[in-house]
Each structure stands twice: as structure tokens, then as C-alpha cells.
């Protein structure tokens, strides 16, 4: 990941994808919920924190939200919540593979 060396002090309203999301009624919190990222990560993505700018998946989510009906948006949120809950339910049952120990080399010199 490459970070922009320039620190931007502009308020969020000056970023075009943030404005567009708000205009469509999509809050940063809801976008975070849909994408499965922390709100701070979504904030950075919307501000183009990385040199690559706003990620395509964030733009796609905003565009999709714009064209959806309220019923479709509710279904999308419910599906995202359901997937997250299923993922959390499975997490304890997934065990990390045990690391194999390498056999010790005998340093016996006769």
C-alpha cells in the first residue's frame, strides 16, 4: 500500500465521492456496513488517502446505491448483515493449521 505523503486538511464535504454518497442518502456508516470495512478506512477511501485515489469498489457501491430503490437498498443491507453474522458464527470453528515442528538436527560429532 502506498500512502500519499501530502496531508489534506480539507473537510469531507470537499471530496466528490463523499458529496455524491451523501446526495444519494448513503452515510459513511452505512457504506462501512455494506463494504465490511471500519469507518475510518471508508473515510480514507472516500478522501483518496492512497495515491491510487478512491477505490473502484467504493465508487461501484455508491453508483449502485444511487440507482437502487429504497426496497433494494434494504435488501442489500440485510444481505450484508446476514453474511457478516454467518461469518462471525463460523469464525470460532475455523482452526488455524498447526505448525509442524522441524526435526532437530543432531549435532553429535563422533
Q: What is the DSSP string of 8-71?
A: P---GGGSHHHHHHHHTT--HHHHHHHHT--HHHHHHHHHT-BTT-S-HHHHHHHHHHHHS-HH
Q: Which residue has the higher pLDDT, 13 or 53?
A: 53
Mean pLDDT score across all residues of the chain = 82
User: How far is residue 75 from each of residues 7, 20, 78, 84, measured CA to CA in Å?
Assistant: 38, 21, 5, 14
C-alpha cell at 92: 470460532
Residue 47 pLDDT > 50? yes
* 50 in Cβ contact with 1 (< 8 Å): yes
- Global pTM reads 0.68
Q: Which residue has the higher pLDDT, 109 or 54?
A: 54
* 33 in Cβ contact with 21 (< 8 Å): no
The Cα–Cα gap between 45 and 55 comes to 6
pLDDT at res. 12: 47
Question: Of the ranges 8-17, 35-44, 46-55, 94-103, which one carries the lowest mean pLDDT score?
Answer: 8-17
Domain ranges of the chain: 12-89
Nearest to 31 by CA among 58, 4, 12: 58
Amino acid at each position: 500500500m502506498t500512502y500519499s505523503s501530502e496531508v489534506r486538511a480539507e473537510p469531507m464535504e470537499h471530496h466528490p465521492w463523499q458529496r455524491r454518497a451523501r446526495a444519494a442518502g448513503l452515510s459513511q456508516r452505512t457504506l462501512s456496513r455494506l463494504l465490511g470495512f471500519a469507518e475510518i478506512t471508508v473515510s480514507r477511501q472516500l478522501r483518496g488517502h492512497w495515491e491510487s485515489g478512491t477505490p473502484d469498489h467504493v465508487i461501484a457501491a455508491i453508483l449502485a446505491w444511487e440507482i437502487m430503490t429504497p426496497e433494494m437498498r434494504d435488501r442489500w443491507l440485510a444481505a450484508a448483515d446476514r453474511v457478516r453474522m454467518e461469518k462471525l458464527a463460523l469464525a470460532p470453528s475455523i482452526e488455524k493449521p498447526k505448525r509442524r515442528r522441524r526435526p532437530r538436527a543432531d549435532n553429535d560429532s563422533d
